[in-house]
Structure 1
């Protein structure tokens, strides 16, 4: 089953060091038997894994897939016999039977039409200890043609013995400008929306694309903007009602805090520089300037620190309404 977008390396934005590692490995015929690709969901891990797999299987033998040979077309169609996507029936874990049946029991069967036989394991951090130990046995003595790619958001879940047998490659966030440019040029997103989505996604292109097309995010954005613009004049009880409403609509409170942090970062930035071009919320520069004139530097730093504290408290399972009440008190009257 085909998973993730399939393109060549040249069509994948950013992470040039990871792409170059794979391309040089192909050029020098130094392909490792196991790789770990780590990064947030949406950062291109699957796209890079698929590009690497398609290049290895390509009949032209270059460091980019030709996209037109029979092998490339099979990969694009999701039916190449030598590219296996490991699946799992339980959403929360990859069990030992999944690994044995889909990898261990088939890996000694030689490739059907290519030199390589490639296994891609998405959400690999969900492998149980037993599944990892089963995979380890295969990794210790793999056949020459085997390549296993583990895609994960958290490689700390892997056994040290798994880590030691894999080439570990970590994807890094893109620059906000790169994400914004992609949204405006390829998806025709208005510049001001693209700037907000890019900043909020923190270099994660997949997340930015999702936000740009999400009516839910637009609704959340408006609700949070109402809070930060009017926090000083609104009663604590009314502010907490806003948070309850946001929570009831199944919005992520982490995203609320992220938006608040971007807002106050803009207030502080404009107070320091008076440069509108540096703002994320350019349309709101008059209000941002007004807030900056009313608050001193120490007060703004205190609010930004209080947002970080609120995030830490929520991670420690402190009551949501208590956490937000303390945050709102600081936002209303920073000392």
Structure 2
């Protein structure tokens, strides 16, 4: 039996920041109720001669978003015959994978550069870096190289793109705070890293770093396996750390950065850790709420979002 066809009325909506209206959209379109949201996006993108990722479709009845997803039917969104939909041009987009690669590239470029230029950047700087300065460089570069590898080979993104104009804002956190700020103070001749190391501190710090990085990788692999390639399906994550907190990836991320901080004892590193932990705590709280809404009683509620006993 053929799926019922419905006619949708189309209203272009201006972007409040860019003021663009899609002039080439038709006034209406016909689509089957059992077609997917992705089908509707593809059809309108072809009509508008724009990338499908530039479009946002919302229902005229309640302004709810129509997902660009293969597993969501037009019927399930509540759209009916003669419904009005609004179509908005989000402007030039950039892939989230590219965004992450650019973000993490900053520290990978800045730290080796400032480490190499130490004798020319600082007055009375010795020609050779101290063992702790070299160790700090190694740990930070390993951390962000792992991030880059995960971005390219592990992560599966629920959203394909974001507005291209936001990449500078998104990258500033890593390029400035994790890159230039930490690097400048870590490789200075008067930095704590310029002095001798204390094995009673350095070795536990290294252990914490390794455990944090491996645990973080484990949780990312668990999250990756919840979604098929190109899919938008969601599942309840289980495995290492997930019985303790909502987001063990953030818990292990914190462990790794505390390990780095224990190696260099730089105030700039401490500031970055505090900012990062505060942001991850906000994300963990939102993730807990999302799990409860999506899975209801099937989801085991967590008391703590990312650090057991704290928050």
**What TM-score, normalized to structure 2?**
0.26
**What TM-score, normalized to structure 1?**
0.25
Name whichever structure is richer in helix by fraction: 1
